[in-house]
DNA sequence: CGGACGGCCTGGGAGC
DNA sequence: TGCTCCCAGGCCGTCC
């Protein structure tokens, strides 16, 4: 389940490994995963183009290619985009292989096939159906306690659902949402509008902190996630609530509770995050 | 309009 | 052991 820190870590890997390399050949093993956009054929549209850069927006990876093309990639839950040697064993569920000018390969793998990649013209990025809807980047300067206050004002929705809404805050997922709410001492089911200014400030700080730590730890490898070189992250060792229901709170020892909010499992400390 | 929920997929683990 | 069932959750479409 790659969220902002995982996607950012993959971006960093690919930038250091594949930036400046040319796509010599593209092999599409699962056509529905590789969407050609306005082009006739995915592979032939990309062949011969150089990877100029790798960018990220929310949980989307955007490979900047020559000729004004962008490859928009989403890993969803189990997607991997990994730079590897050509002799590396072919993983099951490998869907797209990019042969690179240095002799190595970029392989897109996705067990559940929720993820995928799409060729988009640079001038169409701003109006792209998915990218255009994304909200503010939580690690950018635009994300302030005041912005969080605007998001929650008069909102009856539960605070966790709100910070998971990609059209409001781009890049939060279930793991970092639970961790941020724990760090801020706020119950995930709290009605958003009831948060005090002090709580909004705490939540703002906590969101930035858990995301920054996630990046510093190169992502959370709880199940499937690996970085752009196939390496596991270390942030799973720092999780305080996610995946720890019924275990003791690291702060007070109380057994962590579990409930469903907006269809997602939420783990929290009934004592430290008790308020309403 | 916004919130809730099912569908998309497969593998892993629990329970029998 | 092997079968069934449930869960994992990002995003989209549908419904109310």
Provide the strand spans (E) within chain A. Answer: 23-28, 34-35, 51-57, 60-65, 69-74, 79-84, 94-100, 105-110, 116-121, 257-261, 264-268
User: In the prediction, which pLDDT does A129 show?
Assistant: 83
In chain A, CATH 1.10.8.50 covers 145-268
User: In the prediction, which pLDDT does A275 show?
Assistant: 61
A1 CA to B9 C1' in angstroms comes to: 14
Is A133 marked active-site?
Answer: no
Is A59 marked active-site?
Answer: yes
User: In the prediction, which pLDDT does A267 show?
Assistant: 92
Q: Is the CB of A1 under 7 A from strand C?
A: yes
* Nearest nucleotide to A111, CA against C1' atoms: B10
Q: Which residues fall within 8 angstroms of residue A30, CB to CB, at 6 or more apart?
A: A95, A96, A113
d(CA A212, CA A248): 25
Q: Which residues fall within 8 angstroms of residue A41, CB to CB, at 6 or more apart?
A: none
Is A138 marked active-site?
Answer: no
A198 CA to B8 C1' in angstroms comes to: 40
Closest residue (CA) to C1' of nucleotide B6 is A263
In chain A, CATH 3.20.190.10 covers 4-133
Strand B bases near protein CB (under 7 Å) are 2-11
Q: Which CATH number fits domain A145-268: 1.10.8.50, 1.10.10.10, 1.10.287.70, 3.60.21.10?
A: 1.10.8.50
Detail the protein residues whose CB sits closer than 7 A to any atom belonging to strand B.
Answer: A 32, 92-93, 111-114, 155-158, 161, 165, 262-263
User: In the prediction, which pLDDT does A270 show?
Assistant: 93
What fold, for A4-133? N-terminal domain of MutM-like DNA repair proteins (3.20.190)
> pLDDT tens string for chain A (276 positions)?
799 999 999 999 999 999 999 999 999 999 989 999 999 999 999 999 999 999 999 999 999 999 999 999 999 999 999 999 999 999 999 999 999 999 999 999 999 999 999 999 999 998 888 898 899 999 999 999 999 999 998 898 999 999 999 999 999 999 999 999 999 999 999 999 999 999 999 999 999 999 999 999 999 988 788 899 999 999 999 999 999 998 999 999 999 999 889 889 999 999 999 864
User: In the prediction, which pLDDT does A104 show?
Assistant: 98
A148 CA to C8 C1' in angstroms comes to: 29
Closest residue (CA) to C1' of nucleotide B10 is A112
User: In the prediction, which pLDDT does A232 show?
Assistant: 92
pTM: 0.96
d(CA A221, CA A88): 21
Is A3 marked active-site?
Answer: yes
């Amino acid at each position: 389940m790659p969220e902002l820190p995982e996607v950012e870590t993959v971006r960093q890997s690919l930038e250091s490994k594949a930036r400046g390399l040319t796509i010599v050949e593209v092999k599409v093993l699962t056509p529905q995963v590789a969407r050609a956009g306005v082009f006739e054929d995915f592979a032939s549209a990309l062949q011969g183009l150089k990877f100029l850069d790798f960018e990220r927006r929310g949980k989307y990876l955007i490979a900047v290619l020559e000729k004004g093309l962008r490859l928009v990639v989403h890993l969803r839950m189990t997607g991997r985009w990994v730079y590897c040697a050509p002799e590396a064993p072919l993983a099951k569920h490998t869907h797209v292989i990019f042969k690179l000018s240095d002799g190595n390969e970029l392989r897109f793998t996705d067990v559940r096939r929720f993820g995928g990649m799409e060729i988009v013209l640079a001038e169409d990025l701003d109006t792209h159906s998915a990218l255009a809807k994304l909200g503010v980047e939580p690690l950018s300067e635009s994300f302030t306690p005041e912005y969080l206050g605007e998001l929650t004002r008069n909102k009856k929705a539960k605070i966790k659902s709100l910070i998971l809404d990609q059209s409001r805050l781009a890049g939060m997922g279930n793991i970092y949402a639970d961790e941020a709410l724990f760090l801020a001492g706020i119950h995930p089911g709290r009605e958003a509008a009831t948060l005090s200014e002090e709580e909004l400030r705490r939540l703002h700080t906590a969101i930035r902190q858990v995301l920054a730590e996630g990046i510093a730890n190169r992502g959370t490898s709880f199940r499937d996630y690996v970085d752009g070189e196939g390496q596991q992250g270390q942030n799973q060792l720092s999780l305080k609530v996610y995946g720890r229901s019924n275990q003791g709170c690291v702060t007070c020892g109380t057994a962590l509770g579990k409930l469903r909010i907006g269809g997602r499992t939420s783990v929290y400390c009934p004592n430290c995050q008790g308020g309403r």
